């Protein structure tokens, strides 16, 4: 293949038993291949920063080099593949317009960083006139050169690449696998796992990475890009939590779901359909998975640890917190590994890309809008609601402050998504400062409920220590309340960036 194209691919991570079952049931007529792929980057990892990958692959037919650039997620990516004479990487063989995707990277600075070695079984599948290449990969990722050692990251994946046909046809085939035990949709590319291995830090949490949006394109495509970016963030952090309990991964998984919920709500005139109610229920259900674990993380770090040394009985309360924390994380671990969670994640991706809302009349007012027009409308509406609520707020009302905090989050999600240059930074900085203050006030207001998560069957001494910790935390509420009001006034007194 020598022409540039958009690669559309779904990928599932598999347990060993699921891989064995799928090989026997779906790949009986397949052919086998062995692939060795080396990934290149600069010492400063400039390609990773540009969300691009460059690999050299040896197959049974020879050598090819491939440049990929991220779309909204691992589902849809730009791809350009060229021959690699004599098995050597030569980035200059790519056309100039393709090579520009590497930015200012000098091809001479590219060095091998890590490689993947897999045994691949390939078989074509036909569904409703669509052609899908199915690939079952089993192998590992290892480091190159001076970094090489015994460290390995295993690979056990099913890839479904759409060769012809519709996205709906691809998902129809994918659903046959998604319902199986031990099969989970993954938006984490092999290259990302390689970079994690190369960092030496192990699996780490991932924040939201705003996609490159085509503001002159359709609002529908803009929504899909944003929703897939949030799903990609969720998938990354779920991958981490399947390996190790990391508080930041719990936090970022929860943030991803809230962002997705915010995008669905903001684009409601565009995406409302017969499945909308089920999608909202799914988002609520998945968010609840991380609720107790995140609540206890925050309470331990911000309330208990700074104050624990002052109170008799703190040791017993601390032990109760540790126990409750362990139970909460065990529940997260069980949930993210469950078939129900995997099915929910797949359903969200399927609805985003080919749900009923994508089939509505393209000539409708909302469907026909450009993303630029809708972004301005959404930001202006959110800003109006946010300011109105803040200016009428009874700051002594904790529930009302919490509602303003929710509005601030929604405002921030949209503003970060639609910020195209540095001119948005002052606005985002002011908004983050207000959100932080409102967050602290919410933690103070909900501290009793947070403490109760650890007090089931607790002794009077433990309960007394918990009450003392909560009381000391509340003692700082007046100071934080004044800071929050000042932050809002500072925020409301400046013109938002999209009106400059």
CATH code of the domain covering residue 6: 2.40.320.10
Inside any domain, residue 374: yes
Among 133, 167, 202, the domain-final residue is: 202
> Which phi and psi angles does 118 have, rounded to 5°?
-135, 150
- For residues 28 and 172, state if they share a domain: yes
Inside any domain, residue 52: yes
Among 175, 202, 229, the domain-final residue is: 202
Task: Choose among 348, 418, 352, 359: nearest CA to 383.
Answer: 418
Quote the domain boundaries for residue 140.
1-202
pLDDT per residue rounded down to tens, the chain (500 residues) = 333 466 789 999 999 999 999 999 999 888 999 999 999 999 888 888 888 889 999 877 789 999 888 654 456 677 888 888 888 888 888 877 777 777 778 888 889 999 999 999 999 999 888 899 999 999 999 998 766 777 889 999 999 999 999 999 999 999 999 999 999 999 988 888 999 888 887 788 999 988 888 899 999 999 999 999 999 999 999 999 998 999 999 999 999 999 999 999 999 999 999 999 999 999 999 999 999 999 999 999 888 877 666 656 678 888 899 999 999 999 999 999 999 999 999 999 999 999 999 986 655 666 778 999 999 999 999 999 999 999 999 999 999 999 999 999 999 999 999 998 889 999 999 999 999 999 999 999 999 999 999 888 778 878 888 888 888 888 889 999 999 999 999 999 899 999 75
- For residues 341 and 436, state if they share a domain: yes
Cα–Cα dist 238/242, whole Å: 6
Buried b (16+ CB within 10 A) or exposed e, 428-438: eebbebbbebb
Inside any domain, residue 266: no
- For residues 357 and 492, state if they share a domain: yes
- For residues 175 and 294, state if they share a domain: no
The CATH number assigned to the domain holding 381 equals: 1.40.20.10
Among 158, 183, 202, the domain-final residue is: 202
Cα–Cα dist 418/374, whole Å: 11
Inside any domain, residue 86: yes
pLDDT at 4: 45
Cα 201 to Cα 42, 171, 195, 198, 340, distances in angstroms: 19, 35, 10, 8, 30
pLDDT at 61: 74
Cα–Cα dist 449/319, whole Å: 18
- For residues 333 and 195, state if they share a domain: no
Q: Are 41 and 47 in contact (CB under 8 A)?
A: yes
Q: Are 468 and 316 in contact (CB under 8 A)?
A: no
Predicted structure pTM score: 0.90
pLDDT at 72: 43
Inside any domain, residue 265: no
- For residues 188 and 304, state if they share a domain: no
Cα–Cα dist 152/155, whole Å: 9
- Partner residues linked to 83 by β-bridges: 64
Inside any domain, residue 342: yes
pLDDT at 2: 38
Number of structural domains, the chain?
2
Cα–Cα dist 7/80, whole Å: 9
Inside any domain, residue 311: yes
Cα–Cα dist 233/226, whole Å: 11
The DSSP result for 94-162, as a single string, is S-HHHHGGGTT--GGG-EEEEEEEEEEEEEEEEETTEEEEEEEEEEEEEE-GGG-SS--EEEEEEEEEE
Inside any domain, residue 252: no
């Amino acid at each position: 293949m020598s022409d540039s194209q958009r690669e559309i691919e779904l990928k599932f991570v598999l347990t060993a038993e699921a891989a064995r079952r799928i090989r026997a049931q779906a790949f009986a007529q397949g052919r086998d291949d062995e692939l060795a792929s080396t990934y290149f980057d600069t010492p400063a990892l400039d390609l990773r920063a540009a969300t691009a990958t460059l690999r050299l692959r040896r197959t049974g037919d020879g050598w090819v080099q491939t440049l990929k650039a991220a779309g909204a997620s691992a589902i849809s990516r730009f791809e350009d593949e060229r021959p690699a004479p004599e098995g050597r990487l030569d980035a200059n063989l790519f056309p100039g317009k393709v090579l520009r995707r590497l930015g200012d990277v000098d091809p001479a600075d590219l060095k091998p960083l890590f490689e993947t070695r897999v045994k691949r079984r390939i078989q074509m599948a036909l569904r409703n006139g669509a052609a899908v290449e199915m690939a079952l990969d089993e192998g590992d990722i290892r480091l190159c050169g001076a970094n090489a050692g015994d460290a390995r990251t295993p690979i056990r994946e099913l890839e479904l690449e759409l060769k012809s046909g519709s996205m709906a046809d691809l998902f129809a085939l994918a659903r046959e696998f998604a319902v199986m035990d031990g099969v989970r949709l993954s938006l984490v590319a092999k290259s990302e796992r390689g970079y994690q291995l190369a960092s030496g830090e192990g699996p780490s949490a991932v924040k939201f990475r705003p996609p490159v949006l085509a503001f002159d394109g359709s609002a529908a495509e803009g929504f899909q890009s944003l929703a897939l970016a949030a799903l990609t963030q969720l998938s990354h952090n779920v991958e981490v939590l399947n390996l190790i309990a990391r508080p930041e991964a719990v936090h970022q998984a929860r943030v991803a779901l809230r962002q997705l919920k915010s995008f669905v709500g903001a684009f409601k005139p565009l995406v409302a359909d017969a499945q909308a109610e089920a999608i909202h229920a799914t988002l609520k259900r998945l968010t609840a998975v991380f609720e107790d674990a995140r609540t206890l993380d925050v309470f331990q770090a911000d309330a208990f640890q700074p104050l624990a040394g002052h109170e008799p009985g703190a040791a017993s309360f601390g032990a109760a917190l540790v126990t409750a924390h362990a139970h909460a994380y065990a529940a997260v671990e069980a949930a993210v590994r469950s078939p129900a969670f995997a099915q929910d994640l797949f359903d969200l991706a399927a609805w985003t890309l080919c749900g009923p809302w994508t089939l509505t009349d393209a000539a409708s007012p909302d469907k026909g809008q450009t993303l630029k027009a809708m972004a301005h409308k959404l930001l202006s509406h959110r800003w109006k609601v946010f300011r109105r609520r803040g200016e009428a707020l009874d700051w002594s009302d904790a529930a009302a402050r919490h509602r303003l905090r929710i509005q601030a989050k929604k405002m921030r999600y949209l503003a970060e998504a639609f910020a195209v240059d540095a001119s948005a930074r002052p606005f985002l900085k002011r908004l983050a400062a207000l959100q932080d203050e409102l967050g602290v006030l919410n933690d103070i207001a909900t501290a009793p409920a947070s403490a109760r998560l650890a007090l089931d069957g607790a002794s009077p001494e433990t309960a007394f220590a918990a009450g003392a910790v909560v009381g000391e935390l509340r003692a700082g509420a007046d100071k934080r309340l004044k800071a929050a009001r000042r932050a809002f006034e500072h925020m409301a007194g400046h013109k938002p960036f999209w009106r400059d």
